[in-house]
A and B are shown apart, each in its own frame.
Chain A
């Protein structure tokens, strides 16, 4: 397999996107963003809304955090401040987006806006920024990683939402209702996604 650095830009972009979305799915393989996933995935509509917001925010914040880390923290030797910097960048970015959306489009605000505060505490976003540092990505590749990670989360939560809508009426043991059965669904989906692993290795 050719190393990432030798590939054409487009090829490495596509490869990172697919691997972040499928083989290394942030929810099913890395366990991130579970809390909001369990809370919001009761319906497909809300899953779609939150998923879309997450794609947007992860893609932008991973790019932003990449720049901040490479050009501000590393040269100044402030590597250890990365956690606090990243979370502040993410919180400030979501706040900003919320304000912009509120001004620009009321319709968009009503469908996406309510999810934005939830996103600050969604560990998938911070997680993607942190995992990104483990690999020697360029700026565009980091963006692809964020985009792919967000898309993977979107895909997982939408599928879970669809399944949960179906089993809404099913008779379950009392103790298994809610989080219990959802975790089992996610477990089975994770089994399915293992099938993707081995497809790509970076």
Chain B
């Protein structure tokens, strides 16, 4: 019999994947996916923030008055995001210059608030931590797959390394690293994911 944690992990990654299923948190999904390196830092930030916010909210769930829980959650999220912001600035200042504002925007990433509200406020700390991790990972999986396609098509590179003999045979699709490319990629990916879900539900 699978443990409850495995189920939570599986739900976060596939069944309830925040981007495909709930269409949450796509702002940052689009903005940072033109280069894989930026995306990886962003994913790290989101995973860190969802997991720890879920954990903290769950620890405090019986002590937060119902009426002001939103603002308490925002403050908790903002504190973790601040830590990530400072950390990324210290470790990778070049990348921080580009994704800086978007790191700050993790605060308003609906995934975090959504999970805190839907899961952590009703469950024990440890399952909440796992749920946060799973949702963060599910989110990252989508981001990374978009970033890989966009960087390869747009620049002919991956993580900054050029494809073999790129200049001989590869024409760069500049549009893919510009905003429209992000919208089209995400549209195509949601289309596939949803078409698959529709099929599953029909069974």
Interface residues in chain A, defined as those with a beta carbon under 8 Å from any beta carbon in chain B: 28-35, 38, 80-84, 86-88, 91, 120-123, 126-127, 130-131, 134, 173-181, 183-184, 186-188, 190-191, 194
Contacts and interface: CB of A to CB of B under 8 A. Distances in A.
A116 to B, nearest CB: 13
**Most chain B C-beta atoms within 10 Å of own C-beta, residue among A28, A34, A127, A130:** A34
Nearest to B78: A84
B23 A38 contact: yes
Interface string B149-180: 00000000000000000000000000100111
Given A84-B79, A175-B198, A31 B31 contact: yes
16 contacts: A31-B182, A32-B31, A83-B85, A87-B78, A87-B107, A123-B27, A126-B104, A126-B105, A127-B27, A174-B194, A175-B195, A178-B23, A180-B190, A187-B180, A190-B179, A194-B180
B187 interface: yes
B187 A32 contact: no
Nearest to A33: B27
A121 B79 CA distance: 16
Contacts of A176: 187, 191, 194-195
B101 A83 contact: no
B183 interface: yes
Given A31-B27, A31-B30, A180 B191 contact: yes
Q: What class of interface size applies to chain B in its complex with A?
A: 35 or more
Interface in B68-122: 70-71, 74-75, 78-79, 81-82, 85-86, 100-101, 104-105, 107-110, 113
Nearest to A92: B71
A94 to B, nearest CB: 11
A183 B110 contact: no
Given A32-B27, A34-B27, A175-B195, A184 B183 contact: yes
Nearest to B79: A84
B201 to A, nearest CB: 10
